Amino acid sequence: MKAKKTNQTQPKKASESAKKKGANKDSIKPLKAASKKSAKKSKNSNQTQNNIKSHIKPPKLPKIPKSFQISIATKRSENSAMPKIFLTTNESAQYYESGYSCDNAILLKLDTHLVFITDARYTTEAKEHLKESVEIVESHNLLDSAIAILHKERIKEIVFDPRMLCVQDYQKLEVKLPKCRLVAMPNFHQLGRIIKTNEEIGLIKKSQELNKKAFKRFSKQVREGMYEHMLYALAKGALENDGLYSLSFDPIVALNANAAKPHALPGQARLKKGDLLLLDAGIKYKRYCSDRTRSGYFGESGLDFTKNQHFANKKLQKIYDIVRKAQEHTIANIKSGMSGKQIDALARDVITQAGFGEYFSHSTGHGIGLDIHEQPFISTRSETIITDGMVFSIEPGIYIPGKYGVRIEDLVVIRNGRAEIL
């Protein structure tokens, strides 16, 4: 479970907030032609495009075709889930496709041709980081520039994510491109990234290793009498490690009763001997997120985040042991071919049978990668079939309002049909 996520500064991502400034179509300035070294032809079939049947009209949007959902389960090397032609403003999608992103850009993927449209504040940096074959277009009006390119290229159909495109921009595209069918595919790029490559798994693993070291740095710096807000600031410092890393999200640091709020904000409670301290945190390594939660006992010897915790409060110890059992039972019994909701049931059944089902108030896990929350989701509603190469969290919890909350979280990857902790 995560608190509100923050936009993070990365070496290949501009951080300055931007507001679009109006301009006409004549403002388009091509800065770099596409490289003659074109990327290899995509192996994906035309199945996805051929099965898109509806031309949507706002505000009603079509569901993802079943054929698209089924193709997600194929190997990523075949890339059969990703549309050939799409428009996106999403930074993770921009970075994944082009090697760079910023907060005021449109990326057009026109089969093997990529066009990165942004304003003059980012073009110098974009030229330094974009892949060689990506064309840069500098513009004062990004959408007008995109429309002009789509018109020039005579694009007949383009995919977009309706969660990312506002109604005003959709209507403008519809009016200006009457011969181009606009195809809504919610979350299409995350779905296309659902199976991680070995390189991506390695980056997530490295990110989590650095995250574990940050937990240890934090535990060594914790002192009795610190307020929650001080512990929160201390955790951020330990995670960022003198500015080396960005945060996956704002850390959650909560004591005792505050830990019963899954998305707790730091308060004015002061740490004392015998307290429960919950830390949920993650960093980014080369843009890939990590995520970990531990519930620790602060005693005479200080604080540690091993799973072998011994609380003075017997009821709290019982709850902790149940959560640990639920998490370890789930990880040990995950198998390729199970659905997200079947995996969720592994954890939920342990907690329910122990009499605390009503106090497990969130899903068991979520995918992770360039975004802190990605596909697949491990929840009571998830029909997603789990396959090798998927990476996600397992994080059951029990939350007793006004008393305490316990959550334990690790990341796992599916290899050879079973879950391995990263």
DSSP, residue by residue, 172-201: HHHHH-TTSEEEE-TTHHHHHTSSPPHHHH
What pLDDT does residue 22 have?
35
* H/E element, 340: helix 340-353
**In whole angstroms, what is the distance from residue 205 CA to residue 64 CA?**
31
Per the CB < 8 A criterion, the answer to whether 115 and 134 are in contact is yes
Total-model pTM: 0.80
User: What rounded mean pLDDT belongs to the chain?
Assistant: 86
116: exposed, middle or buried (C-beta count within 10 Å: 0-12, 13-18, 19+)?
buried
Which tops the pLDDT comparison, 73 or 16?
A: 16
* Stretch 209-230: mean pLDDT: 97
Confidence of residue 1 (pLDDT cuts 50, 70, 90): low
Kindly tell me if the per-residue pLDDT of 354 is higher than 90: yes
Instruction: Provide the token pair at 306.
Output: 């091993």
* Stretch 347-361: mean pLDDT: 97
- CA atoms in the 13 A half-sphere facing the CB of 258: 21
Kindly tell me if the per-residue pLDDT of 126 is higher than 60: yes
Which tops the pLDDT comparison, 25 or 104?
A: 104
Kindly tell me if the per-residue pLDDT of 11 is higher than 90: no
Instruction: Say which residues have a Cβ less than 8 Å from residue 398's Cβ, sequence separation at least 6.
Output: 319, 322, 323, 351, 356, 359, 360, 405, 406
Question: What separation in angstroms does the CA of 231 have from each of 2, 295, 311, 380?
Answer: 17, 14, 20, 34
* H/E element, 87: strand 85-88
Q: What is the pLDDT of residues 223-264, one digit of tens each?
A: 999 999 999 999 999 999 999 999 999 999 999 999 999 999
What pLDDT does residue 81 have?
72
Confidence of residue 46 (pLDDT cuts 50, 70, 90): very low
Q: What is the pLDDT of residues 367-421, one digit of tens each?
A: 999 999 999 999 999 999 999 999 999 999 999 999 999 999 999 999 999 999 9
